[in-house]
Amino acid sequence: MPAAPRARSGAQPPEPLRPQRPLAQAARDAARQVPVAGLGLDSAAVRLRMVQRLRGDGIACEPVLQALARVERHRFVDTALATQAYEDTSLPIGHGQTISKPSVVARMLALLHDSECARAQGTLGRVLEIGSGCGYQAALLSLLSRSVLSIERLRPLHEKARQHLHGWRQGDVRLIHGDGRLGHAPWAPYDHIVAAAGGEAIPEAWLEQLAVGGRLVAPMQDGRGGGQVLVVVDRTASGLREQRLGAVHFVPLKSGRE
């Protein structure tokens, strides 16, 4: 903290006007250019304000709001963007991809929390995430679930998520570099499947790997010439039930890995 300026005694002459800042003043100003860690982003208060806004916007799922209050979103984005981390905005994470807006993430996680098996257990069970990106949503999921398996097709982002989640001890999170359209059959079935990228249709593998009582939440092309919509699929004992919610805008679900 810079020292508070001393009160000037009335006896001193007024400071002369100078076209440039005196050196000492410039040094003091430079000292005030504090790094991100000093901007208050580390404080829980800034996340609580974001959570209050989400609550005001109608997100009512307390466990999800608590997870959003805990995970430091600014640590998952580039330092240059850190000051925008708690605004309700998507942000670039490199390689043409984006981290979704907090309100969209909150809505998707709240939908998972409202699934039959989460309601029965009070928590999310085994989660499959497609599109690890920078690892932010995987971190949130790990606070909300028994285990998370997250797949990313772009190696640099897979590595970035791994770096961001290094030492993350909140839950069981596994990251895989691969094509998430195939899901991950060896560990199926999953109680929850959530995708951060949208394709023409929901891949067959996801539906096959969804447990009974489980729920899938993903963006998908509407197919009627419109853009993407958010799709919720529940697997009940008697089969699959699909709901289409409002319009969304996610990056495309692509095939293969790079």
Does 101 engage in binding with ligand SAH (CB under 6 A)?
A: no
The structure tokens listed for 192 are 């929850």
The structure tokens listed for 115 are 């699934």
Site for ligand SAH in 168-187 (CB under 6 A): 179-181
- Smallest distance from the beta carbon of 142 to ligand SAH, in angstroms? 12
Of 64, 112, 154, 248, the residue at the interface with ligand SAH (CB under 6 A) is 154
Determine the length of the chain. Answer: 258
Site for ligand SAH in 78-97 (CB under 6 A): 93, 97
- Smallest distance from the beta carbon of 198 to ligand SAH, in angstroms? 9
115 catalytic, yes or no? no
Of 131, 183, 213, 219, the residue at the interface with ligand SAH (CB under 6 A) is 131
Residue 54, Cα to own-chain centre: how many angstroms? 14
Separation between Cα atoms, residue 37 and residue 125, nearest integer Å:
34
Name the segment binding ligand SAH (CB under 6 A); options: 17-25, 47-55, 59-67, 133-141. 133-141
First-to-final CA distance of the chain? 46
- Smallest distance from the beta carbon of 56 to ligand SAH, in angstroms? 23
For 151, phi then psi, to 5°, come to -115, 135
Of 157, 202, 230, 233, the residue at the interface with ligand SAH (CB under 6 A) is 157
For 238, phi then psi, to 5°, come to -100, 5
Of 106, 134, 141, 149, the residue at the interface with ligand SAH (CB under 6 A) is 134
The DSSP code for 229 is E
Separation between Cα atoms, residue 195 and residue 250, nearest integer Å:
9
Sign of CA dihedral 39, 143, 232, 199: positive
Contact 206, 150 (CB under 8 A): no
The structure tokens listed for 195 are 């995708």
Separation between Cα atoms, residue 179 and residue 254, nearest integer Å:
8
Does 158 engage in binding with ligand SAH (CB under 6 A)?
A: no
Name the segment binding ligand SAH (CB under 6 A); options: 16-24, 66-74, 153-161, 230-238. 153-161
The catalytic residue among 43, 100, 115, 145 is 100
Does 151 engage in binding with ligand SAH (CB under 6 A)?
A: yes
Does 251 engage in binding with ligand SAH (CB under 6 A)?
A: yes
- Smallest distance from the beta carbon of 180 to ligand SAH, in angstroms? 3
For residue 204, the tally of other CB atoms under 10 A from its CB is: 11
Q: List residues with catalytic annotation.
A: 100
Binding positions for ligand SAH, rule: CB under 6 A:
93, 97-100, 130-131, 133-134, 136-137, 151-154, 157, 179-181, 196-197, 251, 253-254
